[in-house]
Amino acid sequence: MERDMLIGFDLLLVVVLGLLLYSPSPHGTPVAPGVFDVVQVVLVVSALLADAVALWAIGARINEFGFTPNRVAALGFNVILLVNLAWSAVLLIRFLRGRGSFTTLERWQTDYLPVFAAWAVIVVIVFPPVFGYI
């Protein structure tokens, strides 16, 4: 896969994550699952598949061309995103089946944001000396 296509996949995954973060707003009060929640599960599962393809492509590029800061940053971001989306899918399915609350998903999303921030800090602070840019 070309680099531009991988960037496009990542942008699409960020949009899905944004929708997932935005989704608690319609659930201000405890309600039963609705059509939007089913669509959201389909969206998250589709994003998981897209992320798996992106991870495969990044792994193939690393295998063929070696490690670069961009490839390692993309790999880390996609692994972090895969974990977030996978557990979000589990929590959404539990909510749809009546075995969990939407508050649990909301808490998972807000508690996971520091993981993205930590990865960004690692990329900005740790990568330059590791890859010889200082």
pTM across the whole model: 0.84
| Structure-block tokens of residue 67 | 């490690």
The answer to whether 101 touches 29, Cβ cutoff 8 Å, is no
The more confident residue out of 91 and 27 is 91
pLDDT one-digit tens code per residue, 56-89: 999 999 999 999 999 999 999 999 999 999 999 9
As a whole number, mean pLDDT of residues 89-105 equals 91
What's the pLDDT at 26? Answer: 59
What's the pLDDT at 45? Answer: 94
Q: Which amino acid is at 5?
A: M
How many Å apart are CA 88 and CA 30, to the nearest integer? 18
Return phi, psi of residue 86, to 5°: -65, -50
Domain ranges (residues) in the chain? 3-130
Helix (H) or strand (E) holding 10: helix 3-22
pLDDT one-digit tens code per residue, 26-38: 555 556 788 888 9
